[in-house]
């Protein structure tokens, strides 16, 4: 009856077979889901903020370092997803390879990542929509577009979009991915429009000095920009709804990461080449850069694309959040009743609606900086544990069939562990304090409920009685 007990791969597959989730997603759907998650607030907001505050034109180096860390983690994710194509992502992998207590902590951190990440994205969506109205001469009341800390009562647009996306996800995975495809195309068009309009206006003088904040600024920028790449792990949460998970999951994970890395580096290079980095500390740096060089219509079009981009991020984040909670509840670590699948739509509707309500409340009443700053550290912890898990998988199940094997795993996995750990170290001290409180709260919940109620615990107890 140890907290380090592991669940067998056969039990995971048997549990997945009984859930009734519809298998509707192919490789293109997964790539679009990953791109939909990654290309959003990071490219339209964080590139400017990080360049202005931490890295200057050296943000391109920060992006390369973050992408390299993600690449190591992505290769580990791809092997785990191909070998264990079960909903739950890093949580499920940890349960099978490292033990229940580690699985719970990873799942708890993923809940933090997706919940706060979704709340931050909803708040960002609200800011862009409010800005569009302002550009049209319509001033929405601050009382209903800002949180109490910013002088408002409630951020109603953020509440609305969170509840709308939640209802869309209940309606069906295929329906939400169809909308996601359309919006991904719109926001990619906005990114390419920016590159076409702003690219010829680049002034190389703006790239000097390359590292105004030094190497430490580049590293802090890498740790901060890591949030921009979060998304390929969301692809892994769709494992049970894939038509051919062993082939499609690795394609979706790695393909989306490669596409987005190229686009991020291109946008960051052009952005800091068009506008001096000191001027980019605002909520809409891409649209701002186009206005600064005289493309007002182009700026409006890119702003519209940014709204589409942020919407796709919210779809992907809230989808991943519901699937993580679904996997945890199925194992009994939180009440199992919330993972009930809708008889018509084939989606976990209770947990999806519950998560949507929680996100809407957080985005409606909490300031965006508070709900965003913890996302990175929780994600890095989950990535680190997945890298440990793939090493355990190679050791414990060397002959397990898998359509994708991480190349040079005994270099890649340790590199993922070290790089994720170092980026965690680079994050501010107050982030570590809040993260410690979250972990402590998670341990209390596990010891008070999950340890006794887990299905694995009950199965072991029955086995012990039979033996006795």
Q: What is the mean pLDDT of residues 392-411?
A: 83
**Residues with Cβ within 8 Å of residue 30, at least 6 apart in sequence:** 235, 238, 242, 248, 249, 251, 252, 253, 255, 256
Residue 87 has what pLDDT?
A: 61
Of 148-157, 219-228, 247-256, the range with the highest mean pLDDT is 148-157
- State the Cα–Cα distance between residues 186 and 404, nearest whole angstrom: 32
Q: What is the DSSP string of 357-372?
A: HHHHHHHHHS-HHHHH
Q: What is the mean pLDDT of residues 130-140?
A: 77
**Banded pLDDT at 268 (limits 50, 70, 90):** very high
282 neighbors 302 (Cβ within 8 angstroms): no
- State the Cα–Cα distance between residues 327 and 336, nearest whole angstrom: 10
Residue 287 vs residue 436, higher pLDDT? 436
pTM above 0.85, yes or no: no
Q: What is the DSSP string of 35-93?
A: HHHHSSHIIIIIHHHHIIIIIGGGHHHHHHHHHHHHHHHHHHHHHHHHHS--TTTHHHH
Of the listed ranges 258-262, 327-331, 361-365, 462-466, the least confidently predicted one is 462-466
Q: What percent of the chain has pLDDT over 90?
A: 13
**Banded pLDDT at 60 (limits 50, 70, 90):** very high
User: Residue 25 — φ and ψ, nearest 5°?
Assistant: -105, 135
Instruction: Give bridge partners of residue 155 from the DSSP assignment.
Output: 145
| Angle value at C-alpha 36, between 32 and 40, nearest 5 degrees | 155
- State the Cα–Cα distance between residues 361 and 354, nearest whole angstrom: 11
**Model confidence at 183: pLDDT above 80:** no
Q: What is the mean pLDDT of residues 164-186?
A: 75
Q: What is the mean pLDDT of residues 21-45?
A: 78
CA distances to 71, 85, 264 from 98, rounded to whole Å, are 22, 17, 34
* Predicted confidence (pLDDT) per residue in 409-449, tens digit: 999 999 999 988 988 887 778 888 888 998 999 999 999 99
Q: Alpha helix locations (H) across 172-243? A: 173-198, 214-229, 232-236
The mean pLDDT of the chain is: 82
Superfamily of domain 25-460: Amino acid/polyamine transporter I (1.20.1740.10)
- The enclosing H or E element of 425 equals helix 409-426
Determine the length of the chain. Answer: 468
- State the Cα–Cα distance between residues 445 and 424, nearest whole angstrom: 24
**Model confidence at 224: pLDDT above 70:** yes
Residue 322 has what pLDDT?
A: 78
Q: What is the mean pLDDT of residues 228-233?
A: 71
Q: What is the mean pLDDT of residues 392-396?
A: 87
Of the listed ranges 35-44, 328-337, 392-401, the least confidently predicted one is 35-44
Residue 253 has what pLDDT?
A: 80
On the question of a cis peptide bond just before residue 209, with omega within 30 degrees of 0, the verdict is: yes
**Residues with Cβ within 8 Å of residue 17, at least 6 apart in sequence:** none
């Amino acid at each position: 009856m140890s907290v380090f007990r592991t669940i067998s791969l056969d039990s995971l597959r048997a549990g997945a077979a009984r859930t009734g989730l519809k298998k509707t997603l192919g490789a293109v759907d997964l790539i679009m889901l990953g791109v939909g998650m990654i290309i959003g607030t990071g490219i339209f907001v964080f590139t400017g903020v990080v360049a202005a505050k931490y890295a200057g034109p050296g943000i391109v180096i920060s992006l390369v370092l973050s992408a390299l860390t993600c690449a190591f983690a992505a290769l580990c994710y791809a092997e785990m997803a191909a070998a264990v194509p079960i909903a739950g992502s890093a949580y499920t992998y940890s349960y099978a390879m490292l033990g229940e207590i580690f699985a719970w902590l990873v799942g708890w951190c993923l809940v933090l990542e997706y919940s706060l990440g979704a709340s931050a994205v909803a708040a960002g969506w609200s800011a862009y929509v409010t800005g569009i109205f302002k550009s049209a001469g319509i001033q929405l009341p601050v009382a209903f577009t800002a949180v109490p800390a910013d002088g408002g009562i409630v951020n109603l647009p953020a509440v609305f979009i969170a509840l709308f996306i939640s209802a869309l996800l209940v309606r069906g995975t295929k329906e939400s991915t169809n909308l996601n495809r359309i919006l991904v195309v719109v926001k990619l068009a906005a990114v390419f429009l920016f590159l076409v309009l702003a690219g010829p206006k680049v002034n190389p003088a703006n790239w000097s000095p390359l590292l105004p904040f030094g190497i430490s600024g580049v590293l802090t920028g890498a740790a901060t920009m890591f949030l921009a790449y979060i998304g390929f792990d969301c692809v892994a949460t769709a494992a049970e709804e894939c038509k051919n998970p062993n082939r499609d999951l690795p394609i979706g994970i790695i393909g989306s990461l490669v596409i987005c890395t190229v686009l991020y580096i291109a946008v960051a290079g052009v952005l800091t080449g068009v506008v001096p980095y000191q001027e980019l500390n605002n909520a809409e740096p891409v649209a701002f850069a186009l206005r600064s060089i005289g493309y007002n219509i182009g700026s409006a079009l890119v702003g519209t694309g940014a709204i589409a981009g942020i919407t796709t991020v919210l779809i992907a984040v809230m989808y991943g959040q519901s699937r993580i909670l679904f996997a945890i509840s199925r194992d009994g670590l939180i009440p199992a009743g919330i993972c009930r699948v809708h008889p018509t739509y084939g989606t976990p509707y209770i947990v999806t609606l519950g998560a949507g309500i929680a996100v809407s409340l957080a985005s409606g009443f909490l300031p965006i900086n508070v709900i965003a700053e913890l996302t990175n550290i929780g994600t890095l912890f989950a990535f680190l544990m997945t890298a440990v898990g793939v090493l355990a998988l190679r050791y414990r199940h060397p002959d397990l069939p898998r359509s994708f094997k991480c190349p040079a795993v005994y270099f890649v996995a340790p590199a993922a562990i070290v790089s994720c750990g170092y980026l965690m170290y680079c994050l501010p001290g107050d982030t570590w304090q809040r993260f410690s409180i979250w972990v402590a709260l998670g341990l209390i919940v596990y010891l008070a409920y999950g340890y006794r109620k887990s299905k694995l615990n009950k199965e072991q107890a029955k086995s012990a009685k039979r033996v006795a």
